[in-house]
Chain A
Amino acid sequence: MDLSFCEPLQSEDESFNVSESTHDGAIAVSPRPGSDEGLSPAELAAKYGLSQSGARPSLGGYVKQLWGRRHFILTFSRAKLHAQYSQAKLGQLWQVMTPLLNAGVYFLIFGLILKAGRGMDIRDYIPFLIIGVFVFTFTQSSALAGVRAISGNLGLVRALHFPRASLPISFSLQQLQQLLYSMVIVFVFVLSFGNWPRWSWLLIIPVLVLQFVFNTGLALILARMGSKTPDLAQLMPFVLRTWMYASGVLFSIPLMLQDRDVPTWIVDVLQWNPAAIYMDLIRCALIDGYSTENLPPLVWPAAIGWALLMAAVGFVYFWKAEERYGRG
């Protein structure tokens, strides 16, 4: 092998060509019988069963690869979560403090100053507000992390080989774990405003699972868009804030719109939006005074439908560009 020699490709250097030709003269140039001479690279690759590097796997194969990376996905999400507050003196306590302070700010502005409760009992409004803020934050931060999942981790994408969907999924998982910390605060508030544990509390588990599935689909879509157009990361906070105000995070949509001259279809659209559905389902499950009358009809099929639709569309959409992440 040490004598094998290859012609240079586009050599422009004159002196180099000279030395090259003398070299050619020095070695025996005779094609081997039965050799691979004359085969095109593609034919040669086919002959020895080489596969195209960086080609996109089939959808089924992709799912299998992702499943094989499940430990990485989980460990990566935990590591990200842990690294977040590792420089703070209070450390992991901030996992709970941050949502608590957030809830405090919203309560001060919307509960006390703007009185967005609209006659809702304050004992119901505070848990209502806190659940709204936390549950929406779950979707919001998954979306934000999703936009940057690829574009913010190009180093990782360009250095190591793994199914790229690991990243957006991992970031959604990180947000799910973050939400579980926030739920501790939610339970404290719900209990302290006189809502005792009921069987309906268990309903929050399927709701959060569905919301997680929805968020992951959303993160996958945004990850692909964000990898092509990094500017999206600048735009997303505004889109998400609009979505937040339109989803009844801080007020009850029917209560807010009931006395106004608003066509009912607007109320319907606002209530059927996935963020509002997941939020209201959790409120109904946890708050005694917030009955199922506040929910639109067919709320469960809608919650399941949104989750499955988003996950399926997001996964396929992300997979379609698998081989192109990391370029640019």
Chain B
Amino acid sequence: MAVAERTEADSNPADSPNAPSAATGGIPTVIADEVHIVYRVYGGTKGKGSATAALNRIVRRGKAGRAVREVHAVRGVSFTAYRGEAIGLIGSNGSGKSTLLRAIAGLLPPERGTVYTDGQPSLLGVNAALMNDLTGERNVVLGGLAMGMSRDQVQERYQHIVDFSGINEKGDFITLPMRTYSSGMAARLRFSIAAAKDHDVLMIDEALATGDKKFQKRSEARIRELRKEAGTVFLVSHNNKSIRDTCERVLWLEHGELRMDGPTADVLKEYEKFTGK
């Protein structure tokens, strides 16, 4: 298991005077113990998806032949994250990065294995709670409440969220329904709402690449700020540069398995070799 095998290089503290608390008996914030996650997909059977085909399956194979396919998205991943770490998650599309984050957040129950966490990890993302038919104004309130902010907190931060998003820079757009926004505007508002909350363990799923250059700068600054406040940060990204800039440790997932776990430079070197860059 990863935890047991974890080998500490900092037996000589002089080597890394600024190393986080792991050197002094690090305080773990997230422990994943042999986590397996399985998605069950209905109607995803091979072959024809027609009604007669479905009926055929039911008749022929009875209950065992139900149209369910299992997708084993994460296979036995174990690691321990410590306070003060920023951990990048890399891997090709569909390697289980986002799924693993959701499991850490306790949003997707593991099939086997356990995730232990300090406090309540939260995903940076609020998209699912927002409604396109509502005004930006109402969505700010709804999104804030959905993330678990109190009504007072939402009221207090409302103006800041709107200013940060820059939605009102080109007129009074916040009182229009969100479906009238351009995709960039909507993305900016979503990020602004999501980033308004403070988090213990923060997980960011490729949220950096939204909006125009100016907004990207602003959001990167906000993420650095969030990192300072948060105990541990997880960042999923396909952008090796943003991983290199933000993370000191990287987990590399491939086919749902933890392929490598180590310092950013080492893992990225192997990963780039693997992807043939």
Contact = CB atoms under 8 A, between A and B. Distances in A.
Contact of B262 (A5, A11, A328): A5
Contacts of A323: 109
A215 B102 CA distance: 32
Given A40-B4, A41-B116, A230-B42, A156 B129 contact: yes
A48 interface: yes
Given A6-B6, A53-B116, A86-B133, A45 B19 contact: no
A58 interface: no
Nearest to A166: B146
A9 B77 contact: yes
Contacts of A259: none
B9 interface: yes
A36 to B, nearest CB: 7
A76 to B, nearest CB: 7
Interface string B61-83: 00000000000000111111010
A162 B263 contact: no
A1 B109 contact: no
B145 A72 contact: yes
Nearest to A49: B118
Contacts of B12: 28
A328 B120 CA distance: 22
Nearest to B83: A48
Interface in A7-35: 7-11, 13, 16, 19-20, 23-24, 27-32, 34-35
A6 B180 CA distance: 48
A71 interface: yes
Contacts of A114: none
Contacts of B264: 2
Interface in B245-264: 248-249, 257-264
B50 interface: no
B108 A327 contact: yes
A28 B82 contact: no
A31 B114 CA distance: 25
A79 B121 CA distance: 27
A2 B263 contact: yes
B151 interface: yes
A328 to B, nearest CB: 4
Interface of B: 1-12, 15-16, 19-20, 22-23, 25-33, 39-40, 42, 75-80, 82, 84-85, 102-111, 114-118, 120-123, 125-129, 131, 133-134, 138, 141-142, 145-148, 150-151, 177, 248-249, 257-264, 266, 270, 274
Which 10 A-B pairs have CB atoms at the shortest separation, nearest pair first?
A54-B106, A45-B116, A41-B33, A3-B9, A6-B261, A53-B106, A155-B128, A83-B133, A50-B116, A72-B145
